[in-house]
A = this chain, B = another copy of it.
């Protein structure tokens, strides 16, 4: 029962999760530095990141190991799982629940590499094959 529903992460929380997914488990300092390397103009303070991560711990979005003086955090949900949740959410709220309309909007909004198009085609094949 440890897999109950996690809340939808906010923009700030998502930025932190992205660092954790990319780097693996990290301390607050590491996350803070990664964020400011990625977005030098934003400049969020150290304690701001710390506070966010503390709240995320309360919400269950991350877990932390307090055995070291500098606590070590890790994302509780995988990147895939979170992406699925966010997509489902947007699909319901803005696309009337239609995955295809969302997918088409995504593909139209930016150029996609031939390789990715091929992967998509493959996915379509498998979806059509598995009709029930």
Contact = CB atoms under 8 A, between A and B. Distances in A.
A109 B11 CA distance: 22
How many copies, total?
2
Interface string A84-122: 101110110111011111111111111011101101110
A42 interface: no
A124 B123 contact: no
A106 B112 contact: no
Contacts of A120: 100, 103-104, 124
B103 A107 contact: yes
A128 interface: yes
Interface of A: 11, 14-15, 18, 80, 82-84, 86-88, 90-91, 93-95, 97-110, 112-114, 116-117, 119-121, 123-124, 127-128, 131
- Sort A-B residue pairs by CB-CB distance and give the 4 closest, nearest first: A100-B116, A103-B103, A102-B106, A99-B106
